[in-house]
Structure 1
């Protein structure tokens, strides 16, 4: 999946459909991040997350990994930052080899792009990069029993397949894969009528 085509209008589209729910859901996890953490952000999109994290006392050292060159360019335009240091990397997280030993990994609306087999590979890959006492901040769409929410999810997958080449067509079972990689759920919060969840995972010690 490459989001170059929709990058310029991504934020506007997300607000049109979901209001501020996507940003509020992701921001819920940020309050749990300790100051001066070394952070890996995967699939950070247009960089709104960086503006949210750039708060007094943060002191974060951030590696920002994003496949879309346009998304990276939009994110870089948000600099300079006052309280965080960001290294931008335009590449596929599965082929990136620069980082390790992160205090925090953040995957905002990223893991829904993968089917079961690929999700297992991605989570296994990222698990190797997080410290034994680290924190994984997960925010994404989840399955519900609501017919209109299920219809909206199907429409979203169709839209992204047509605009970005996304091959996955359904929401994966995230938690099963996290648990299979020795990551335990420690906190969860729901947003947008239960259609979005923010979760905190930590390695099982």
Structure 2
């Protein structure tokens, strides 16, 4: 199954920290302070679920969270997390197969779009855009070939990552899709942009204007 990390679920966090130290973690944690109290939150591709415990540090209760993760092993690990008194619904599906009548205050997509070929990325973007309320917040964290500090090592690292995941038969993508034009097309406003790991990791908070 494409874009499914079952094969490395038990080792994923360790592998990511070996390469990126805490950059991937910090890029996500630093956004959480912007979540309004009592929000309805959609998390897509949350991995092992450590983000639920970090959310609980910000709000120990009052959040209604829908947690969509395609990996059954990742979902199982996430269900063991201490998310305090927040309400969490776990959905073990690919986001393309997920349907809901809920509209969300906040959507989190940590390192989601780097898995997809462009056609699927655009489809998923449109789907999630429909789930987000007007004036809602979209927290995007992903890899970026940002111009600062040179691109050669970023391209080399990205190529190595895709080759590794291709060997394991995990991801469908061969290259990074720049999602920024799609946010601009649908009139999202950038509230904050932070770069990590020499600009290779980008964390953006978008606000849906209409």
Please give the range of the TM-score, normalised by the shorter of the 2 chains: over 0.9
Larger mean CA deviation between 24-33 and 144-153 belongs to 144-153
- In structure 1, C-alpha distance between the alignment counterparts of 2:51 and 2:93, rounded to whole Å: 18
Matched ranges for 1:162-181 at <5 A: 162-181=167-186
Q: CA deviation at 1:89?
A: 0.4
Give the structure-2-normalised TM-score.
0.92
Q: CA deviation at 1:27?
A: 0.9
Q: CA deviation at 1:83?
A: 3.7
- Per-residue CA deviations over 1:57-95 (Å, capped at 9, x if unaligned) read 45211000000000000111114x324211100001111
Kindly report structure 1 stretches of 4+ aligned residues shifted beyond 4 Å.
none
Report what 1:74 is aligned to.
77
Report what 1:12 is aligned to.
14
Distance 1:46-1:57 versus aligned 2 partners, 3 A rule: closer
Q: Which runs of 5+ in 1 are unaligned?
A: none
Q: Which runs of 5+ in 2 are unaligned?
A: none
The answer to whether the 8 Å contact 1:104/1:130 transfers is yes
- In structure 1, C-alpha distance between the alignment counterparts of 2:25 and 2:101, rounded to whole Å: 26
- Per-residue CA deviations over 1:33-72 (Å, capped at 9, x if unaligned) read 1111000000000001101101254521100000000000
The answer to whether the 8 Å contact 1:44/1:108 transfers is yes
Give the structure-1-normalised TM-score.
0.94
CA-atom RMSD, angstroms?
Answer: 1.4
The answer to whether the 8 Å contact 1:55/1:83 transfers is no
1:101 and 2:69 matched? no
Report what 2:159 is aligned to.
154
Q: How many residues align?
A: 204
Larger mean CA deviation between 164-173 and 117-126 belongs to 164-173
- In structure 1, C-alpha distance between the alignment counterparts of 2:104 and 2:16, rounded to whole Å: 29
Distance 1:107-1:99 versus aligned 2 partners, 3 A rule: farther
Q: CA deviation at 1:181?
A: 2.7
Q: CA deviation at 1:173?
A: 1.1
Q: CA deviation at 1:111?
A: 1.1
Q: CA deviation at 1:183?
A: 2.2
1:116 and 2:105 matched? no
1:190 and 2:195 matched? yes
- In structure 2, C-alpha distance between the alignment counterparts of 1:63 and 1:166, rounded to whole Å: 23
The answer to whether the 8 Å contact 1:42/1:106 transfers is yes
